[in-house]
Amino acid sequence: MRILLVEDDALLGDGTRAGLRLAGYAVDWAQDGEAASVALRGQKYDAIVLDLGLPRRDGLALLRELRGRDVLTPVLILTARDTREDKVAGLDAGADDYLTKPFDLEELQARLRALLRRAGGPPAAALAHGPVSMDPAGRRVLRAGQPVALSAREFTLLHDLLAHKGRIRSKSELEESLYAWGEEIESNTVEVYIHHLRKKLGADFIRTVRGLGYVVGES
Ligand code: CA
C-alpha cells in the first residue's frame, strides 16, 4: 500500500517515513503543499498523512481542494495544532482522522490501519487464493489455517498480487508497489521476493508468465 506523507519538518518527516516503511508501506514524502498537490495528480494513494502548517500551501487548503475534486483518499491530519477548533475545522474540511504532535509512531500506525480498514479496499474475502488468505489490516497471512511469517516487502508484494488476482502484474508494476520515490531499485528484487514467497506459500502459488510478469490465479 502506498502512503503520501506531507510534512515540512525534515527530521520528523524522515522519522515518520522510516517508521511507516518498516510497517511495510511504500511512502512518498512531499515537503510542501504544492509538491503534495502535484504528487496527488500523478499517483493514486491508499492514504495521506497530512501536516497542516506547510510552506507554499496550507494543509487545510490542500484538503479542501482534494475533497472539492472528489478525491476520497483517506486523510489523517498530523499536526501541532491541538485546539478543539482546529480539530473541528480539520474534520469538517474532510479529514478522516486527526492526531496531534508529539505523537507515538505505534499509534499512528494503528490509526492508519483503522483508516485503511474503514476505507475497505478489496473485501477481505477477495484477498485469498487456494489455501492462502490475507488479512491486510491485521497484517496476517495464513496458509491452510497456519500463520506464515512474511517480511514487510514480501507482504506488500503478496498483497499486490492478491489484490489483482487473475491479472498479470508486470515486474515494473510490482516494483512500483514496493518502492517509493527515489529509493534505489535493485534489478532482481522482485524475482528474489517471488522466490521467497514460493518457498513459503508453495512453488505453484505464483505463476510466471514469460515475458509479461507474474500472476496469482487464472489470468
Ligand atoms: Ca509543519
Q: How far is the CA of 168 from the centre of ligand 1 (A)?
A: 41
192 pLDDT tier (thresholds 50, 70, 90): very high
Residue 17 has pLDDT above 60, yes or no: yes
Distance 136 CA to ligand 1 centre (A): 30
Averaged pLDDT, 28-40: 96
* DSSP 8-state secondary structure symbol assigned to residue 125: G
- The three three-digit cell numbers of residue 218, written as one number: 487464472
Give the distance (Å) from ligand 1 centre to CA of residue 12: 9
For residue 56, the CA-to-ligand 1 centroid distance in Å is 11
Q: What are phi and psi of 104, to 5 degrees?
A: -105, 130
Q: Give the alpha-carbon dihedral of 64, 65, 66, 69, to 10 degrees.
A: 120
pLDDT in tens, 44-96: 899 999 999 999 999 999 999 999 998 889 999 999 999 999 999 999 999 99
Question: Which has more pLDDT, 120 or 169?
Answer: 169
Long-range own/partner contacts, residues 178-182 (CB < 8 A, 24 or more apart): 178/26, 178/153, 179/26, 180/2, 180/17, 180/21, 180/26, 180/27, 180/28, 180/29, 181/28, 181/29
1 C-alpha to center of ligand 1: Å? Answer: 24
SS (H, E, C) 144-169: CCEECCCCHHHHHHHHHHHHCCCCCE
What does the pLDDT read at residue 121?
55
Phi-psi region of 186 (alpha: psi -120 to 50; beta: other; left: phi over 0): beta
Query: How far is CA 21 from its chain centroid?
Result: 9
**51 close to 78: Cβ distance less than 8 angstroms:** yes
**Average pLDDT along the chain:** 91
| DSSP track, 172-212 | HHHHHHH--TTPPPPTTHHHHHHHHHHHHH-TTSSEEETTT
**Which domains are seen in the chain, by residue range?**
2-118 (3.40.50.2300), 124-215 (1.10.10.10)
Contact by Cβ (8 Å): 128, 161: no
| Mean pLDDT of all residues in 9-30 | 93
Please say if the pLDDT value at position 181 is more than 80: no
**150 Cα–ligand 1 center, Å:** 35
Query: Average pLDDT, stretch 26-48?
Result: 94
CA atoms within 13 A on the CB side of 39: 21
Helix (H, G, I), strand (E, B) or coil at 39: helix
CA angle 41, 2, 215 (to 5 degrees): 110
What integer pLDDT is reported at residue 147 of this predicted model? 92
CA of 100 to the centre of ligand 1 (A): 12
Residue 166 predicted with pLDDT over 80 = yes
